[in-house]
Amino acid sequence: MPLTRWTNKASGWFKQSLPGYCAFCLSPGQVSSGWCQECFDQLPWNLHVCCQCKEPLSHVFANAQMLCDHCQAEKPAFSMVTAELLFEGPVRALIHDFKFHASPRAGMLLAELMLANTPRCLGEGLLPVPMHHMRARERGFNQSYWLSEQLAKRLALPLINAVCVKQLPAQHTLSRKERASNLVGAFRIDGPVPGHLTIIDDVVTTGATGQALATVALRAGATRVDIWAIARTPLTHS
């Protein structure tokens, strides 16, 4: 179980891995994407999900086209969500190193993991989740923008810019309802936007950020907005 071995290591350990070696188990060989097939297969895949927002579902239904309670109650502003991994184990550790230690090696691996699950239709532009300039100054970079730049280069798509005009409290401390009300008026998009665009985020938690940004993009003239993230938080009762 190479990945289990990796998970037990301290966060940041994978920074020592070298090109040509699996970032997770350090085994050498045919590693063109940064990992070996065995470790890739063992990643925490987000398999039993709402078909619209990709929230993990508590029960596995025979019908694959199942909607979660939230999407059944109200249709989200966004259309498709791609979030193929769960925010846990090695994925959580990688995202932590990327966001809080600004590790470009972790960032590149995460971009590669996203590209390994590229949505079939991305539209005409990528829209990074914007960060308030005070938060960006604190952190030193905006992780969604950094990922979007890598993906845009690889996929030859333009970046569409939005701004965050409201200082938001740390979202993870808030309930689903509080997140949604905090995000009212938080984003602005100036200028024309293409008809179909894809929001880029690192982790989708309740979908409130994507909902708020998609609503603004639709008001700015988009006709379809999708979300493409690395991971979805595991099932909670938020």
Nearer to Zn ion, 29 or 192 (CB): 29
Minimum gap (Å) between residue 131 Cβ and Zn ion: 25
CA–CA gap between residue 152 and residue 159 (Å, rounded)? 7
Q: Is 174 a residue that touches Zn ion (CB under 5 A)?
A: no
Nearer to Zn ion, 16 or 167 (CB): 16
Q: Smallest Cα–Cα separation from 91: which of 48, 136, 54, 46?
A: 46
Minimum gap (Å) between residue 177 Cβ and Zn ion: 16
Nearer to Zn ion, 2 or 194 (CB): 2
Contact 80, 215 (CB under 8 A): no
CA–CA gap between residue 97 and residue 13 (Å, rounded)? 10
Nearer to Zn ion, 53 or 157 (CB): 53
CA–CA gap between residue 176 and residue 171 (Å, rounded)? 9
Helix, strand, coil abundance in the chain, percent, nearest 5: 35, 15, 50
* Number of residues in contact with Zn ion under rule CB under 5 A: 12
Q: Is 52 a residue that touches Zn ion (CB under 5 A)?
A: yes
Nearer to Zn ion, 65 or 173 (CB): 65
- In angstroms, the Cα distances linking 33 to 2, 61, 138, 217 are 17, 33, 32, 33
Binding mask 31-50 for Zn ion (x = CB under 5 A): -----x--x----------x
Binding mask 1-30 for Zn ion (x = CB under 5 A): -x-------------------x-xx-----
Q: Candidates 68, 85, 95, 131: give the one binding Zn ion (CB under 5 A).
A: 68
- For 236, other C-beta atoms within 10 Å of its C-beta total 10
Stretch that binds Zn ion, among 55-63, 140-148, 212-220, 229-237 (CB under 5 A): 55-63
Q: Is 233 a residue that touches Zn ion (CB under 5 A)?
A: no
Angle at 173 between CA 169 and CA 175, to 5 degrees: 100
Nearer to Zn ion, 22 or 94 (CB): 22
CA–CA gap between residue 130 and residue 165 (Å, rounded)? 9
Binding residues for Zn ion, rule: CB under 5 A, are: 2, 22, 24-25, 36, 39, 50, 52-53, 55, 68, 71
